Structure 1
Amino acid sequence: MTTLLDLDREIDETEIGWLLSKRASAVKARDADYLVSRFAPGSTGFDLTPAPIAPGSTITDAADLRDWFDGFEDSIEYSVRDLAVVVGDDVAFAHSVDRFTATPVGGRRFQLWLRVTTGLRRSRGVWLITHEHRSVAAPPE
């Protein structure tokens, strides 16, 4: 029997999945403002990029992210794979294996697989990212 609590968790899991999928689309569109807007104030992250998510930094500056995007030619591809979400009352964690494909300015196109762990908090009914960690992963089989 499905309970109201089960339905609430399914809705939260779906909403978080949508948020992470929308963020992948925003990377492809180079939409720095949207990406930054999904972080809670004071959020931190550990990432492979120099900005805006340098190790232990606060994620607040869309200009840094736009500068990072400008380091790539033509299209950027980003996809989320094998997403798993665990939801509590007002906190959640998600992890996935993501694929990033891009061509650095003056360089050769490359593909990078990332293992991503995202911590979220619900604030005023909206899920916001409070912490994110990315590391290089082996390509999935």
Structure 2
Amino acid sequence: MSAHQGAEQETTMTTLIDLDRRVDETEIDREIDEAEIGWLLTKRGAAVKAMDADYLVSRHAPGSTGFDITPARHGRDHAVTDAAALRDWFRTFEDSLDYSILDLSIVVGDDVAFAHSLDHFTATPFGARRAQVWLHVTTGLRRIGGCWLITHEHRSIASPPQ
């Protein structure tokens, strides 16, 4: 092998090693983002149980949209950043709420992510028996100022898992 070929091969190896490092760092970054988003969504489930309206709206970006099982306040859109509306909704229940997130799936891009889950909600509305609802939940998020914030949320009634 000539000196030129050896130098060329060394440059190629250095380039491949650098590419591997970047791929590894990107994969690690995505895993960190997935964990952060998973934590955010799990914490939101705990906030529903605690009826913590302030926390629930704090993780939404300004102008976010939502389509939910709760009554709409403004036309078809739901006031996902309106803590007072959430507190009013929480007051329609007699006792504690139960909320669990199942089958959470997260896909992360550079500054955009989507999550999908099957959620289970149990509560007792005033004057009614304890009821449970299964929900399909799709959440769109953006990284804004280095923090993942919810920009869109959609909940719809789902069949119980079998």
TM-score tier by shorter-chain length is: over 0.9
Q: CA deviation at 1:136?
A: 0.3
- State the percentage of identical aligned residues: 69
Q: Which residue is equivalent to 2:42?
A: 21
Higher helix content, 1 or 2: 2
- Show structure 1 runs of 5+ residues with no match: none
- Of 37, 60, 67, 2:81 maps to 60
Stretches of structure 2 that go unaligned for 5 or more consecutive residues are 1-19
Tell me which of 144, 150, 156 is aligned to 1:123: 144
Change (3 A) 1:23 1:53: farther
Which of 115, 134, 144 is equivalent to 1:113? 134
Does 2:135 align with 1:92?
no
Larger radius of gyration: 2
Residues of 2 paired with 1:54 and 1:82: CA distance?
31
Is the Cα contact below 8 Å between 1:52 and 1:61 reproduced in 2?
A: no
Which of structure 1's runs of 4+ aligned residues deviate more than 4 A?
A: 51-54
Distance 2:123 2:136 in 1: 17
Q: Does structure 1 conserve the Cα–Cα contact (< 8 Å) formed by 2:136 and 2:156? A: yes
More strand by share: 1
TM-score (norm 2): 0.83
How big is the alpha-carbon RMSD for the aligned residues of Structure 1 and Structure 2? 1.6
Moved more, 43-52 or 19-28: 43-52
